[in-house]
Amino acid sequence: MNDNQFGELITGTGSTESLELLKAALDSSVSGIIITDNRLPDNPIVYCNASFERISGYSRPEIIGHNCRFLQARDRKQPERQMLKEAIVEGKTVNVEIRNYTKDGTLFWNELYVSPIKNAEGQVTHFVGVQHDVTRRKNAEHTLRNERELIEQTVKQRTLSLEQTREYLESIIQTVRESLLVLDAEFRVMTANQHFLKTFKVDRSETIGQNLFNLGNGQWDIDRLKELLNDILPTNNPVLDFEVEHDFPHIGRKLMLLNAYRIELEGEFKDRILLSIEDITERRAIEVRKDDFLSVASHELKTPLTTVKGYVQVINHMLSEQSGDKLKEIVGKTSTQIDRLNKLIAELLDVSKIQSGNLEIHRDVFDFDKMVKEVIENIQSVSPNHTIKLSGATNVTYSGDESQLTQVISNLLSNAIKYSPDHQEISVYLSVISGYLKFSVSDQGLGINQNDQAKIFERFYRVSNIQKKYPGMGIGLYVCEQIIKQHKGDLWVDSEENKGSTFSFTLPLLNDESK
Ligand code: ADP
């Protein structure tokens, strides 16, 4: 096309050839183009290009002469229609995205530019509409919007459920009957529950945000506690049963039991410490009263029993050849029962001595193996149903409390017999290992399950299923362990339920104790 032809196209004064050229150019455009004549009734379409046919699915004869509204089919309530009408009335340019329908009824989104064409007098004679099918973009936008809404919805729900979880945990923390503090990594108080505030008679403002070690009158400012708390976050080692006795402001002297754990949560709650504080003043006072009672009661029982034992001995001496067998038997049985009672009372006394820290050891040098043999003989003589076999030797002249160690061995042997009623063999083994003498006694009796093994050395603990069948008070092993500890040794058990148990202890030897 030369400059002249182009000029004719623009001015509309061109030949038929130029007109054809112009049409061809419009037909090759990817945009759908229509022209409406504003001067004719109902503003009909007077021109459409090939792309408009393609986009709308209608052919030229079905388009020319119609008002554009057929493109909206029955979808007439779109606000964009109003915008189009107003622009046409006012002879203005407008740009809308409107829902249109192809001939076969398929929806397509039409991005429509409408601009007026004016004559030399400035009157609007035509409108040109240029359109693009933007359905794909619209659909993508729609999907994106849906996804965003879905994500927003999910986030909302998640936030709500987190908030509910937080409130739920908060309500637990607030209701437990134990003082709880949540600390950050610098030991500043982040949360204090009601029970804490009530127990220490403080309010939130003097607690929250404060460093733990500055609370009250510095009651928690204890070097050892600091050390343990410092270890929690890096090592995850909890602080267990740390006792603090202190003159607290407002509440006076109290004994508090502290336990602290690292909070095992990721994200927002990471690096926090949960500190629980239990007031055990009362409980400890009751325990002390119970121990005092035990001590007084066993002393009070011992005195008359010693007198009764004395009288029974006198009666025994007064028995003559002529006294009846029945009487002799009764006196003998009375004496045995008094010895049993004496032993029980002695054990109770031992417990109260241990509790008050008065279990003293009187060291003397003695032949360890000989002592063991004597205990075995004693126990064997009253246990005809069992056979106690001794093997090994220590060959040690040991320096320790012979009577207490006799008590330990006697207790362990008695237990081995008591708790293996159907298995007669009891083995005792003596040895020396790397500067320690070792004593073991094994039975093939009831055995002890793993759970109970940890507890049988506690005072008054007895394995529940044997309580009724086998008499006892659950203090023998407690006393044994304390005696061995006093001698700087170690007492332990290896056992399997229904297979048997081996109780062993080791005692450290001085250089000159091995013979
Ligand atoms: P007691 O024998 O008076 O109950 P102990 O302190 O000597 O008290 O023992 C505590 C508990 O340990 C016993 O009640 C028993 O359940 C368990 N026990 C001790 N020795 C043995 C053993 N050799 N075999 C099985 N259980 C044992």
pLDDT tens-digit map of 170-202? 888 888 888 999 999 999 999 999 999 999 999
The verdict on domain 284-356 having CATH code 1.10.287.130 is yes
Q: How confident is the model at residue 512 (pLDDT cuts 50, 70, 90)?
A: low
Q: Rounded distance, CA 322 to CA 281, Å?
A: 64
Could you tell me the pLDDT band of residue 418, with boundaries at 50, 70 and 90? Answer: very high
Rounded percentage of the chain residues whose pLDDT exceeds 90: 68
**pLDDT surpassing 60 at residue 483:** yes
Q: In the predicted model, what is the mean pLDDT of residues 224-228?
A: 93
On the CB side of 484, how many CA atoms lie within 13 Å of its CA? Answer: 24
More confident residue, 505 or 271: 505
454 CB near ligand 1 (under 6 Å): no
Q: With a 6 A CB cut-off, is 475 part of the ligand 1 pocket?
A: yes
Q: Do domains 3-135 and 364-508 have the same CATH topology?
A: no
Average pLDDT, the chain: 90
Distance CA 327, CA 255 (A): 58
Whether the per-residue pLDDT at 340 is higher than 60: the answer is yes
18 compared with 96, residue with greater pLDDT: 96
Mutate to test the pocket of ligand 1, among 388, 477, 496 (most ligand atoms within 8 A of CB): 477
Say if ligand 1 is within 6 A of residue 443 CB: yes
Tens of pLDDT, residue by residue over 470-482, are 888 899 999 999 9
d(Cα 189, Cα 272) in Å, to the nearest integer? 10
**Closest-lying ligand 1 atom to the alpha carbon of residue 478:** 6
Q: Which stretches of 370-461 are assigned E, i.e. beta strand?
A: 387-392, 397-400, 425-433, 436-443
Mutation test of ligand 1: which of 407, 410, 419 has the most ligand atoms closer than 8 Å to its C-beta? 419
Tell the burial category of 32 from Cβ atoms under 10 Å away from its Cβ (0-12, 13-18, 19+).
buried
pLDDT category at 3 given cuts 50, 70, 90 is very low
- Ligand 1 centroid to Cα of residue 475, in Å, is 9
463 lines ligand 1 (CB under 6 A): yes
- Nearest ligand 1 atom, CA 474: 8
pLDDT value of residue 273? 93
CATH code assigned to 153-278: 3.30.450.20
Residue range 433-469, pLDDT digits in tens:
999 999 999 999 999 999 999 899 998 899 887 767 8
Which pair of tokens denotes residue 466? 């044997």
Superfamily covering domain 3-135 = PAS domain (3.30.450.20)
Give start and end residues of each alpha helix (H) in 223-355.
223-235, 281-318, 325-355
pLDDT (mean) for 108-123:
93
- State residue 324's pLDDT score: 83
115 to 33, 58, 64, 94, 95: CA distances (angstroms): 11, 23, 19, 7, 9
Mean pLDDT of the 485-491 span: 95
456 lines ligand 1 (CB under 6 A): yes
Question: Token pair of 445, please?
Answer: 């009796």
Q: Give the Cα separation of 515 and 513 in Å (integer).
A: 6
On the question of pLDDT at 410 being above 70, the answer is yes
Residue 145: pLDDT band by 50, 70, 90 thresholds?
Answer: very high
- What CATH number has the domain spanning 364-508? 3.30.565.10
Those residues whose C-beta lies under 8 Å from the C-beta of residue 442, and which sit 6 or more positions away, are 416, 426, 427, 429, 500, 501, 502
Q: How many helices (H) and strands (E) does the chain have?
A: 14, 17
448 lines ligand 1 (CB under 6 A): yes
**Mean pLDDT along residues 347-361:** 84
At 437 the pLDDT is 96
500 Cβ below 6 A of ligand 1: no
- pLDDT above 70 coverage of the chain, percent: 95
- The reply to whether ligand 1 has any atom less than 6 angstroms from the CB of 462 is yes
Lowest mean pLDDT: which of 3-7, 223-227, 448-452?
A: 3-7
What mean pLDDT do residues 108-133 have?
A: 93
Distance from residue 506's CA to the centre of ligand 1 (Å): 19
How far apart are alpha carbons 221 and 225 in whole angstroms? 8
Confidence of residue 2 (pLDDT cuts 50, 70, 90): very low
Cα–Cα distances in Å, from 31 out to 27, 108, 159? 9, 14, 47
Q: Which helix (DSSP H) or strand (DSSP E) does residue 493 occupy? A: strand 490-496
3-state secondary structure string, 415-436?
Answer: HHHHCCCCCCEEEEEEEEECCE
- pLDDT for 431 equals 96
In the structure, what pLDDT confidence band is assigned to residue 515 with cuts at 50, 70 and 90?
low
Strand order from edge to edge, sheet including 45-48: 45-48, 32-37, 124-133, 107-118, 94-101
Q: Between 16-27 and 3-11, two packed helices, what is the crossing angle to 10 degrees?
A: 80
Q: What is the pTM of this model?
A: 0.59
Return the pLDDT at 4: 46
- Answer whether 479 contacts ligand 1 (Cβ < 6 A): no
Nearest atom (ligand 1) to Cα of 472: 3
When mean pLDDT is compared across 240-244, 410-414, 462-466, the lowest value belongs to: 462-466
DSSP 396: B
Sign of CA dihedral 392, 396, 402, 408: negative
Please tell me the residue having the least CA distance from ligand 1 atom 23.
416
Residue 11 confidence (pLDDT):
45
Predicted confidence band at 13 (pLDDT cuts at 50, 70, 90)? low
> pLDDT band for position 325 (50/70/90)?
confident
Residue 292: the pLDDT is 85
Predicted local distance difference test score (pLDDT) of residue 1: 39
Given CA atoms 84, 88, 94, 95 in this order, what sign does their dihedral have?
positive
Asked whether 48 lines ligand 1 (CB < 6 A), one says no
Half-sphere exposure of 251 (CA within 13 A, CB side): 18
pLDDT in tens, 94-104: 999 999 999 99
Q: What's the mean pLDDT in 26-54?
A: 93
State yes or no: pLDDT of 509 exceeds 50: yes
Residue 269, pLDDT score = 66
Residue partners of 469: CB distance under 8 A and separation at least 6: none
How much is the pLDDT for 291? 83
Task: Report the range of poorest mean pLDDT among 22-26, 368-372, 406-410, 503-507.
Answer: 22-26
Domain boundaries, given as residue ranges, for the chain: 3-135, 153-278, 284-356, 364-508
- What number is the average pLDDT over the span 241-263? 94
Going from the Cα of 463 to the center of ligand 1, the distance in angstroms, rounded, reads 7
SS3 category, 165: helix
